[in-house]
Amino acid sequence: MSDPIGLALAILGLPLAAAVLAALLSWTKLAKAAHVPLVVACAAAAVLGVMLLLKVGEGPDYRFVSTPVTWFSAGHLTVNFTVTVDPLSSVMLAMIAFVSTWIAIFSAGYMHGDGGYGRYFAVMSLFVFSMCGLVLANNFLLLVAFWEGVGLCSYLLVGYYFEKPSAASAARKAFLVTRIGDTGFLLGIFLLWKMGNWNTDLTALFDYLKDHPPDQAELTTACLLLFCGAVGKSAQFPLYVWLPDAMEGPTPVSALIHAATMVTAGVYLLARCAPLFVMSPDAQAVVAWAGGVTALLAAFLALAQTDLKRVLAYSTVSQLGYMFLALGTGGAVSPAFAVTAAMFHLFTHAFFKALLFLSAGSVMHAMGGVIDVRKFGGLRRLMPVTHLTFLCGAAALAGVPLLSGFWSKDLILESLTGAGASGRPYATGYFVLAVVAFLTAFLTAFYTFRAYFLTFWGPERVPEEAGHHAHESPAVMTIPLVVLAAGALFAGAVAEPFTHWFSNFLGHTPSLHQAEPAEHHFDWTTAGVGTALVVAGIGLAFLWYRKGTEGEPAGLKPAFALSRNKLYVDEVYEAAVVRPAGVLAFLSKALDGFLDALARLIAAVPRFVGDLARPVQNGLVQFYALSMALGLAVFLTFVVFRVAR
Amino acid sequence: MNPLSDPQLQQTFTGVFRLVVPEIALLGTACAAVLLGCFRNGRGLWFAVSLLGVAGAAVLAATVDQPAPPLPTAASIVPDAAAGFVRWLALAAAAALLFLSWPEVDDRTAAEYYGCLLVATAGVSLVGRANDLVTLFLALELISIPTYVLLYLPARTRVNQEAAAKYFLLSVMSSAVLLFGFSYLYGMTGSTNLTAVTAALARANAEALSPLALVGAVLVVAAVGFRITAVPFHFYAPDVYQGGPAGVVANLAVLPKVAGFAALARVLGLFGPDARSLPFDTATQLPLLLWILAVLTMTLGNVLALLQDDVRRMLAYSGVAHGGYMLMGVVVASALPDVRGAGPTVGGVEALFVYLAAYALMTLGAFAVVLYLSTPDRPVEAIDDLGGVGQTHPVAAGAMAMSLFSLIGLPLTAGFAGKLLLFVGAFTAPADTAAMRNLYRVLVVVAAVNAAVGAYYYLRVVGVMYLRSPLRPLDGSRSRPTLAAAVVLAAGTLVLGVYPQPLVTAARQAAPASGPPAGATAEAKSP
């Protein structure tokens, strides 16, 4: 039990057991207690996760790989069941278990009295299991299995209210859009399999490629294909469109899956595969630019959204873009530094974004399901706890100095300015991206506080739908909020800036290990500029929205309208992709009719042959014997003549 | 020294009994059943005794030490790894058959029924280890003769009796052909010992091909083709499957097929210690003949299965088609390594073993459900009889669907693992012999198309079970042992589909090393 692999497998097993138990409970009269297995399993997993963290931190070994158990093998393809524990995966695991625990507790209150209570918790448990498996998997195909597992759970939970057409179609959209990325992911895996001496184990593959440097073009292709998977799963441009729609699911689901964990799987994948990516500067530049474009675009889209959850969704997309920005600098700066920056932001983001979503959920709960910021306002006296926790989350997301978001954002900005000054290939590009990142920071502060002011300031307004619900949420919901708020405020400060615990710990990850230690120093200029922009953003939001109503100057209306209409991206996709696809579909349908007829013709052939052969089966035993004898004679003639010739 | 007083020879002869202790246990139980059944007959009693017999045989198989005979050229029994695999497969199939035939066994004939089943099982196991033409023939007859009895025992209608008579006549004919073929092999080499025969033929072929030896081999292939339902020796299958008692038909679909492939591999020397020197390699055109046989069998089986409205006839043709898939394994196993010494990445025998196990699981599973749902008043005959079973008998329908998915070869079922290995093996078989060239790859394409055709008629059954409402609801025989067998077999199909590696490893260890040994690639990776 004390060895890291045993701990990791225990963490993996707990949510699986919870999933089975919750599924069984939902069939019985105890369905109301379906949340108990998940809460207990997550809490236990969180404790084990912290133990694992301490264990791994002891050293001197920082990588533990379980003995591979062959899952299946055919020819060159061997797929092993094997997990790896290193600082990277243990940090991720502890974070997932901790955040899920509180979200599970919150869910128990939020979903109370819902018809699908058992189903909800069964799928949530399955999700936590798949996510832990994804983090631990040391084999690409095993990783894909869990990767699809989280995708499936996301589908089931986004479509939780499946009787609502919008939820059903959002679930379908999420599944199909990510599937586009997954196709690339699988192709990339098999390309790597071919390049890497038919290895599918991550550690073996990386070790092999380290010793046998592959062809640069091939490696770049493989990296970009892997990145395709990350783009789909982590909702990056141009495949980000599914994430805002995925907000149709219950709010705790948005908090857990679409903010804290699943969408970060792409970031984690790239961090895991960092040894490959650093060998390909071209791929890294693509990663950084994709991240930069996404960060800015999504921040702009978040400016004028009126749906509180959608603001947060676009903000998630934007922050994920931030993480990819940092990952893309690996190689230009030390890979350990780049990955630390991305993972640290992932870590702090999990806290404050989960907190923001849960607070929004608390608001939604009180407002009777209404989430449009135009319909309510001035809730700070009505819901004091939620107000304060939302403020904590918003301040952390905006990057107010000394809160956790500030430290992680600062690290990313530093990695970018460092990459810009590195003189490596694409340095100018990284410099431009640093500017983009600063701009995004400003926008982030602005839209976050816009949402905050619109929701909690100004005169008190409550929509009709709220009815008698309009009060502070029960303790089962507010306690997780308070805990996560503490995390959002202090997790960053505790983990990194003074002790450098996080970067030192992650730096031990063998796959990131480099000869020169990642030197990292606090850069006052970066921090100063960043803080100034944040203050400007918050100030502007205060100026325009402190009355709780929309008050942006008339001159900016067109820009806001553009943002509110999502830059017409859906419409552009509609016109550029869906319409032509529709025309194509019509043509295809015509062709399909033809092909169908052809296929039917072909399909008729076996039947026709069968009809021809059928009379032979006439039931007469003499005839059967004769056929056997004739068959034998034909075979004999065939062989003897072939040989004698 | 007088060869007769050679201690090794004596040791070889006296050591034989040690190698067949489990089979002796099975036969002993069978004898006890048939003899004592005269005094006291009853289903429960003899079911328990037979189960004990099988369990005892399994225990003996696991515990009794089996030293290899010192003189393989004189031994009539060889306890090699392949023989072990066939034995375990036979014992497992027998255990499943005991359970699933429960509703069919009559109290008056129970002892005879179970006795015959055990004898047939012993026969399969012996075929796997027979190393002598005479032993092999006797072992094969040890399967056939009890089967005649079994087919006749529960026969009450004319259809039943007709099926029994047909099987008897055609089976006798194929046995005659087999003996005829054996006589050629004996006449050519002067020995009935298979090790000696294959070695002599391999030596002779290296110098010049002998058409007469080939005649012998073709006769053997034709006779074994009857047991593995290869076209055109398959004619009996649909009629017998339709007319025979379902439990016996399940037996007929599995045991003779396992034995047939084991016998074929033995005679063609595919279980031999050196897979590189075969008595009938590609130069002899015999693999080409097997190729044709495989293509004919799988295609005709699938095409005719499409037209069937009777569940059992459909399963009969599906069995024919699967016989064709498994022949792929034999074709690949007789492929010669290429110039670099590399063979297929998945050995033919290895894939064949995996497929045999998967086939046994899924076919027995399907028959178990048919048996469970049939009652004497209301037997399951037409596919439409299964309408709405998904609602009325969810467990049985689930097991049936699992078996059918596996027969299609959908991923996460044992059938997929089997097909994958067969296809990978055939696809990577070296193509530089004059006789075969790219025919191996053509074979894979043909098999893949066939698998797609097969999906149609299996899915049709699934569709009827779940999407149709019952016309006349089935009662179900409430035979719990049968249902238990169906569930266990379906679960096995699923488990071995999700985690096939134990089966694959067992099959790999049982098969002789062919191509680049699996260990070699693993070793290349590990450092």
Asked if A630's CB is within 8 angstroms of B222's CB, the reply is: no
User: Rg (Cα) of chain A, in Å, rounded?
Assistant: 28
**Domain layout of chain B by residue ranges:** 18-514
Mean pLDDT, residues A360-388: 84
CA–CA distance, A637 with B222 (Å, rounded to integer): 13
Chain B residues whose beta carbon lies within 8 Å of the beta carbon of residue A632:
177, 218-219, 222
Say what the pLDDT of residue B516 is.
42
CA–CA distance, A242 with B136 (Å, rounded to integer): 65
Chain B, 229 to 268: residues with Cβ < 8 Å from chain A are: 231-233, 235-236, 238-239
CA–CA distance, A328 with A92 (Å, rounded to integer): 20
Q: Which amino acid is at A36?
A: V
Give yes or no for B280 touching A (CB within 8 A): no
Which has the minimum average pLDDT: A76-90, A123-137, A521-535, A622-636?
A521-535
Quickly count: other Cβ atoms within 10 Å of residue A54's Cβ. 11
Say what the pLDDT of residue A63 is.
82
pLDDT at A464 exceeding the cut of 70: yes
Give yes or no for B174 touching A (CB within 8 A): yes
CA–CA distance, A330 with A342 (Å, rounded to integer): 10
A308-344 per-position pLDDT tens digit: 888 899 999 999 999 999 998 887 888 888 888 898 8
Work out the pLDDT band at B524, boundaries 50, 70, 90. Answer: very low
The whole-angstrom distance between residue A22's C-alpha and the CA centroid of its chain comes to 24
Asked if A619's CB is within 8 angstroms of B177's CB, the reply is: no
**Contacts for B44-52: CB closer than 8 Å, 24+ residues apart:** B45/B110, B46/B110, B46/B111, B46/B113, B46/B114, B46/B115, B47/B98, B47/B102, B47/B105, B47/B110, B47/B114, B49/B114, B50/B98, B50/B114, B50/B115, B50/B117, B50/B118, B51/B95, B51/B98
Say what the pLDDT of residue A546 is.
79
The closest CB to that of B525, out of A69, A74, A197, belongs to: A197
To 5 degrees, how large is the angle CA B20–CA B270–CA B67? 30
Say what the pLDDT of residue B477 is.
61
Chain A residues whose beta carbon lies within 8 Å of the beta carbon of residue B286:
639
Say what the pLDDT of residue B91 is.
96
Quickly count: other Cβ atoms within 10 Å of residue A586's Cβ. 10
For tokens 């067992």, the residue is B506
> What ipTM does this complex have?
0.82
The pLDDT mean for chain B works out to: 87
Say what the pLDDT of residue A1 is.
44
Say what the pLDDT of residue B26 is.
95
Say what the pLDDT of residue B221 is.
93
Say what the pLDDT of residue B144 is.
94
The closest CB to that of A635, out of B218, B238, B518, belongs to: B218
Residue B187: partners with Cβ closer than 8 Å, 6 or more residues away: none
B155-211 per-position pLDDT tens digit: 678 888 888 999 999 999 999 999 999 999 999 888 999 999 988 888 887 777 778
The closest CB to that of B232, out of A74, A627, A642, belongs to: A627
Higher pLDDT, B507 or B209: B507
Q: Which amino acid is at A259?
A: A
Give yes or no for B222 touching A (CB within 8 A): yes
CA–CA distance, B520 with B503 (Å, rounded to integer): 20
B414-441 per-position pLDDT tens digit: 999 999 999 988 888 877 667 777 888 8
Give the residue from A230, A216, A186 showing the smallest Cα distance to A279: A216
SS3 A571: helix
Asked if B214's CB is within 8 angstroms of A639's CB, the reply is: yes
A→B interface, C-beta within 8 Å? 69-76, 78, 197-199, 204, 606-607, 609-611, 613-614, 616-617, 619, 621, 623-625, 627-628, 630-632, 635-636, 638-640, 642-644
pLDDT at B282 exceeding the cut of 80: no
Cα of B20 to nearest chain A Cα, Å:
33
B9-68 per-position pLDDT tens digit: 888 888 888 899 999 999 999 999 999 988 888 889 999 999 999 999 999 999 988 888
pLDDT at A465 exceeding the cut of 80: no
The first and second tokens of residue B410, run together, are: 């959908």
- B297 contacts B229 by C-beta, under 8 angstroms: yes
Which has the minimum average pLDDT: A24-28, A37-41, A415-419?
A24-28
CA–CA distance, A75 with B140 (Å, rounded to integer): 34
